[in-house]
Structure 1
């Protein structure tokens, strides 16, 4: 199995593992604050967004971010909402296929950004109900910040 195939498998396993039993407004606040702290611990500035059923429950732009980060979040979230996988998974899948999102799915890259940072908000036995998204770092780091923080959060 090639490196990209292994990465795709790992990303799918993360989606199976990183699921909540429930997710309230208070959960969004606590997770959002955990994401802020994780970014601070790395000395990084990011914009964080948590949306459930189309309602933005948490949004914070750290020092050093710009309105561009908000646009990236919207476009990454569009990917998760349409394809029901992390934006990093979709981007790696497309790279493996040698296609752009425009070529493969006939959707505009102006509205859909298959770059790491948006992760599906999954409730076990329910499914995907939203997105947990970070923008401001290289795509693999955005993805890793989200997934490692969710993993730590779920262990609490």
Structure 2
């Protein structure tokens, strides 16, 4: 593993340790989703965004330039978060650093995508209760957009 890979993995783990909610309900999902849409709209980003609380989709928006393909990516990336309890980007980068794929875990790549953009909604003393996902940009940018929105939401 290169020093750059190790540093990226360290930074991604730090984000997950730091970005923890004290609570998360439908109102929080709406506010966070609107924040994500506002960020993407201001930057004219062709993304779809999605928030799930458990198995329920509680927020979804498709911005100009996004497509139904982004919805399929959202579903696949979200499944990675629920399966592994970590962001899809962290899972994917860790696998890449090991020269491995999701197949090593017996999951169907048609159903799971370890590409950046899905981040766990982790509630303190509870665990992962949902997932926030963006799709439409390169994976590092999808991940960064979601992290930026969560950081702003938790700071407000």
Whether TM-score is above 0.5 comes out as yes
Whether 1:44 and 2:45 are equivalent positions in the alignment is: yes
Residue 88 of structure 1 is matched in structure 2 by: 89
Give the match's secondary structure for 1:152.
helix
Please give the per-residue CA displacement for 1:25-63, whole angstroms capped at 9, x wherever unaligned: 111111000000111222212111100111111011111
For 1:25-104, what aligned pairs fall within 5 Å after superposition? 25-102=26-103, 104=104
The alpha-carbon deviation at position 154 of structure 1 amounts to 0.8
Whether 1:140 and 2:140 are equivalent positions in the alignment is: yes
The answer as to whether partners of 2:41 and 2:63 remain within 8 angstroms in 1 is: no
Provide the C-alpha distance between the structure 2 equivalents of 1:5 and 1:153, rounded to a whole number of angstroms. 28
Moved over 2 A (4+): none
The answer as to whether partners of 2:119 and 2:131 remain within 8 angstroms in 1 is: yes
Provide the C-alpha distance between the structure 1 equivalents of 2:3 and 2:77, rounded to a whole number of angstroms. 26
Residue 10 of structure 1 is matched in structure 2 by: 11
**Gapped runs of 5+ residues in structure 1?**
none
Provide the C-alpha distance between the structure 1 equivalents of 2:150 and 2:79, rounded to a whole number of angstroms. 20
Whether 1:105 and 2:105 are equivalent positions in the alignment is: yes
**Gapped runs of 5+ residues in structure 2?**
none
